Amino acid sequence: MNAPRPVTTLRGRSNLLTLAMLVFLAYAFFPLFWLLVSSTKTTGDLFSTFGLWFGHRFALLDNIRQTFSYAHGEYLRWLANTFVYSVTSALGAACLATLGGYGFAKYVFRGRGALLGAVLGTIMVPATALAIPTYLLFSKAGLVNTPWAVILPSLVSPFGFFLMWVYARDAVHDSLLDAARIDGAGELAIFFRVSLRSLVPGFVTVVLFTLVATWNNYFLPLIMLSDPKYFPVTVGLSVWESQTAGGGGSNSALLSMVVTGSMLSVIPLIVAFVFLQRYWQSGLSAGAIKE
């Protein structure tokens, strides 16, 4: 949204409307503010001091140290897993969707219509309805409890394919392709030298929404993985939470680590959101994912 556009200001600014939206903004920030404040508290202060303000001692650094060092640094490992799973899935899914969408958009081949209908018909199959069937298949194939169990299912995104198919039709001009062919370029060379450049914005969009989906995914890794060393941070945090006193366990020292770990885990995506606003708005407008 960097491009300037003529804003038709009809009646100046409205303070009332601004105030209403600031209330909304406060609602959006409220739990995050609580999380930030709570991550600076000792477990004792969490219980004994008011939740929406700081405690007696500023224990943020202690909490961070504790979070990273607990159980031989499993938290750091979970963060790294999340990073690897989501980046691999996002790049893989975007490459497959881009190549596939381009192929369907720019070439006529036998069975194209039927194949297209088959793929697009599955856009509305919810990811969670597919997860248990995939688990059953993967356990037969011996793939469960490996990183592949999380990465492979994230590689196929019918919605990403749909997006790239539409995108390639509009963004890659046939006249450019014809001109390159007349110059004697091969089809693969044309793709890499001519078409790819035009496809990049769509590609980035698919990368971003698959990245968010995988980063935030819980159901799939929960059912696929049993060894804590493979957990992404979402599953790891839920396991820690279940061991705290509130979660039915007995380890109340873990509580401040659940809070601090939650706080740290949301930083990367929030930073990405702030810096990549332009792409989010075009990409997520496509209605990408919702889990």
Partner 1 sequence: MSPPPEQVLDSRLASGSPPRLTAPRRNRGGRGMHHHRYGYVFAAPFLACFALLFVLPLGYAFYLSLFKNQLVGGTVFAGLANYSRALTDGLLLAGVGRVSLFFVLQVPLMLALALLAALAIDSGLLRLTRLIRLGIFIPYAVPAVVATLMWGYLYGPDFGPAAQLAAKIGVTAPDFLGNTLLLPAIANVVTWEFTGYNMIVLYAALRTVPRELYEAAAVDGAGAWRIAWSIKVPALRPALLLCLMFSVIGSFQLFTEPNLLQTLAPTVIGAGYTPNLYAYNLAFISQEPDYAAAVSFLLGLVMVIISYVVLYLAGRRSRR
| 37 phi/psi in degrees, rounded to 5 | -60, -45
Among 4, 8, 182, 183, binds partner 1 (CB under 8 A): 8
Confirm or reject binding of residue 83 to partner 1 (CB under 8 A). Answer: no
Distance of alpha carbon 176 from alpha carbon 96, whole angstroms: 23
What minimum distance in Å lies between the beta carbon of 220 and partner 1? 11
Q: What token pair was written down for 208?
A: 């971003």
Residue 102 contacts residue 190 (beta carbons within 8 Å):
no
Q: Which is nearer to partner 1, 73 or 246 (CB)?
A: 246
| Maximum distance among all Cα pairs of the chain, rounded to whole angstroms | 77
Q: Which stretch binds partner 1 (CB under 8 A): 44-52, 61-69, 71-79?
A: 44-52
Q: Which stretch binds partner 1 (CB under 8 A): 25-33, 62-70, 72-80?
A: 25-33
Site track for partner 1 across 62-81, x = CB under 8 A: --------------------
What minimum distance in Å lies between the beta carbon of 61 and partner 1? 21
Side-chain half-sphere CA neighbours of 144 within 13 A: 16
Confirm or reject binding of residue 91 to partner 1 (CB under 8 A). Answer: no
What minimum distance in Å lies between the beta carbon of 71 and partner 1? 19
Q: Which of residues 117-176 bind partner 1 (CB under 8 A)?
A: 117, 119-137, 140, 152-153, 155-156, 158-159, 161-163, 166-167, 170-171, 174-175
Long-range interactions of 195-199: CB distance < 8 A, separation 24+: 195/102, 195/106, 195/168, 198/171, 198/172, 198/173, 199/98, 199/102, 199/164, 199/167, 199/168, 199/171, 199/172
Distance of alpha carbon 38 from alpha carbon 21, whole angstroms: 26
Binding residues for partner 1, how many (CB under 8 A)?
135
What minimum distance in Å lies between the beta carbon of 206 and partner 1? 11
Q: Which of residues 222-251 bind partner 1 (CB under 8 A)?
A: 222-223, 233-235, 237-238, 241-242, 246-248
